[in-house]
Amino acid sequence: MKLGVGMRWGMAPVLLCAVAAFAGSWVGDKKEKPKAASQTVDSGSFGVFVKGQRVVTETFHIQQQNGNSSIKSQLKEVAESVPVDQKSNLEITGAGELLRYDWSEGGPAGGSLTVLPNNEFLIEKISASGTNKAAEQPFLMPNTSMILDNNFFVQREVLAWRYLAAACHPEAGSLQCQKGAVEFGALVPQDRSSMRVRMELVGKEKVTIRGAERELIRLTLTGDGFEWALWVDDRDQFKLIRIAIPADNTEVVRD
């Protein structure tokens, strides 16, 4: 089953700049210094609901250490009809450059893949279950391109942070963003494909989350043939709270 862009059951300014600008978290430099302790930027889980029924849980953890960030995520099935056991680990520098992306899926039909920088571009290495030799596919995309792999919604949180750092600034107690959408190049490793996506600020909205009304910032994520709505909390480090994908009757909500 495939739902929207970069979703498939078995989808300049950077993460660190965004968190520093909007949450006041950390500042790094390039001087040699003792290895710092890792700092948790965000952790938790998202429930993925299709037609109101929870089908998958994504557990994630974002850490920063010595200027680099690690975004780890794991998907576990809730419904027997959706067999999911996938893991991902995205590592990026403080300049937004990809260090490494790994994805794996358990089970007989599982496999793994890795995306690495190749000079100034990217290369993907794919290993199918039961084989020792990996296939390779190059991408003429800069190593600052976003990774938006199938099903890993925490990667959309990273995209939202990059958008906020690129296009917005706080002013007089509110968030001021440039008019029009900001475009990003992205790689969907499981699909072995690239795409262009656009993000734009809609504004503040009152949204009901598990029976409680909250005022959140709404963003729109669009691309070729899809439109998603994302809500982030400007009172809590711009964490991603909810995603709505109406065309697929899908909702993602932070637990």
Who contacts 170 (Cβ-Cβ below 8 Å, separation ≥6)? Answer: 22, 176
Judge whether 134 lies within some domain. Answer: no
Distance CA 142, CA 198 (A): 17
pLDDT surpasses 80 at 13: no
The per-residue pLDDT for range 47-97, each reduced to its tens digit, is 999 999 999 999 999 999 998 999 999 999 876 665 678 999 999 998 889
Residue 29 and residue 168 in contact, taking contact as beta carbons nearer than 8 Å: no
Domain containing 169 equals 15-25+41-84+146-254
State whether residue 191 is helix, strand or coil: helix
DSSP H or E segment with residue 30: none
Judge whether 197 lies within some domain. Answer: yes
HSE-up (13 A, CA, CB side) for residue 45: 12
Domain CATH code at residue 50: 2.40.360
Return the minimum-mean-pLDDT range out of 21-25, 81-85, 200-204.
Answer: 21-25
Judge whether 110 lies within some domain. Answer: no
Average pLDDT score, the chain: 85
Judge whether 192 lies within some domain. Answer: yes
Judge whether 218 lies within some domain. Answer: yes
Distance CA 218, CA 123 (A): 34
Judge whether 20 lies within some domain. Answer: yes
Burial of 133 (0-12, 13-18, 19+ CB in 10 A): exposed
Judge whether 138 lies within some domain. Answer: no
The per-residue pLDDT for range 56-70, each reduced to its tens digit, is 999 999 999 998 999
Judge whether 93 lies within some domain. Answer: no
State whether residue 38 is helix, strand or coil: coil
> What percent of the chain has pLDDT above 90?
67
What pLDDT sits at residue 23? 40
pLDDT surpasses 70 at 184: yes
Domain count, the chain: 1
pLDDT average, residue stretch 122-138: 86
CB atoms within 10 A of CB 187: 22
DSSP H or E segment with residue 154: helix 154-167
Distance CA 227, CA 5 (A): 9
Distance CA 146, CA 143 (A): 8
